[in-house]
Amino acid sequence: MTTEKIKVAIAGGTGYTAGELLRLLINHPQVEICSVMSTTSAGRPITDFHRDLLGETDLKFTDNPGEPDVVFLCLGHGLSREFLTTHTLPAHCKVVDLGQDFRNTPDFEGKHFVYGLTDVFKDEIDGCDYLANPGCFATCIQLGLAPLAAMKMIQDEIHVTAITGATGAGRKLSETSHFPYRNDNISVYKSFSHQHLEEIGNTLKVLSGQPQTVNFVPMRGDFTRGIFASIYTRCTAPAEEVTSIYKEYYKSSPFVFVSDAPISLKEVVNTNKCLLHIESHNGYIHITSIIDNLLKGASGQAVENMNLMFGLERTTALHLKANAF
């Protein structure tokens, strides 16, 4: 376990995931933030973009990573490889990529990126140097299916409908992220073709030993943050048996909980939790899985992984309360 503070750099510092990282790391007892990078906003206070941090920090954006012990890459998809090619980091510097560059192609210029689904691959994450943080939908869906896959209980196609908040689209405005479109609205997008399907398939194959078919319909919600996933597949085991299997599988996970009662999204928003609920209906098992897309689905899981990479208690800086009312 490290005794000196971990020097952290964040690349792509103006986005939502960077803002959440800053909110967590400013209050992390083992961290010193040495650099928050933005090529377009160097020299400006980070509170110009992250107004919720006003009074919490005087940090300014820079265009130089400095000499960090770990760098978080909060860049647009496809830009992490470019960053690592064009920037020189200290030899000891660890990398946590929150984009999708290394989730499915983990080897790059002699570096191997471990897939950072914390509650499934903790042993591989412990002490690793390069980590690919999972996608938000992927995290929610995989945590809902991992025990079933690990117990070789998936015998048929999997059907998923999941709805995400507006922050899932990122900070850059588009027609479908503007308030007039999102407010009082719901829509399907990228049905059966979402980019997170590949990483979901990879994990299920590793756990079950065979390819699995996942029929995934993602939806845009009219709320700010969170993911609510409804998952079902054929399974003859009763809900009580499957619930016991899930509770045993996640018994050492500090943020994944199986609820005996039905769950709702507000119970996880602003936390690093994943809540699960299991029911059985006419030969199908139905799993509800919920997370905050910016925390367990992105920055919270990234900090949890950083803690493991540096030998810290994995819950450090992540004891957060949901805004349930």
Contact at 8 Å (CB) between 302 and 21?
yes
- Alpha-carbon distance of 90 to 84, in angstroms, equals 12
pLDDT tens for 27-43 read 999 999 999 999 889 89
- Comparing CA positions, the residue from 130, 124, 64, 126 lying closest to residue 93 is 130
Q: Which residue among 34, 74, 128, 136 is the active-site one?
A: 136
End-to-end CA distance of the chain: give it in Å, rounded: 38
Backbone angles phi, psi at 152, to 5 degrees: 55, 40
* Predicted confidence (pLDDT) per residue in 102-158, tens digit: 999 999 999 999 999 999 999 999 999 999 999 999 999 999 999 999 999 999 999
- The answer to whether 34 is a known catalytic residue is no
**Is 217 strand, coil or helix?**
strand
CA distances from 76 to 101, 164, 170, 278 (A): 9, 19, 9, 35
Report how far residue 77's alpha carbon sits from residue 282's, in angstroms, rounded to the nearest whole number.
41
| HSE toward the beta carbon, residue 298, CA cutoff 13 A | 29
Whether residue 191 has pLDDT greater than 70: yes
Helix or strand run (H / E) with residue 54:
none
Sign for the pseudo-dihedral over CA of 143, 144, 146, 150: positive
Chain CA centroid to CA 102, Å: 14
Compute the distance between CA of residue 146 and CA of residue 72 in angstroms, rounded to an integer.
26
- Amino acid at position 201, single letter: G
Q: Are 303 and 24 in contact (CB under 8 A)?
A: yes
Say which amino acid occupies 72: F
Compute φ and ψ for 239, nearest 5 degrees: -60, -35
pLDDT exceeds cutoff 80 at 299: yes
| Predicted local confidence at residue 217, as pLDDT | 98
Tens of pLDDT, residue by residue over 233-284, are 999 999 999 999 999 999 999 999 999 999 999 999 999 999 999 999 999 9
Domains of the chain: 6-134+296-309 (3.40.50.720), 136-293 (3.30.360.10)
Across the chain, what does the average pLDDT equal? Answer: 94
C-alpha atoms less than 13 angstroms from C-alpha of 259 in its C-beta half-sphere: 17
In contact, 123 and 314? CB cutoff 8 Å? no
Distance CA 143, CA 119 (A): 8
Cβ neighbours of 174 (radius 10 Å): 9
> 0.85 cut: is pTM over it?
yes
d(CA 306, CA 7): 12
Residue 2 has pLDDT above 60, yes or no: no
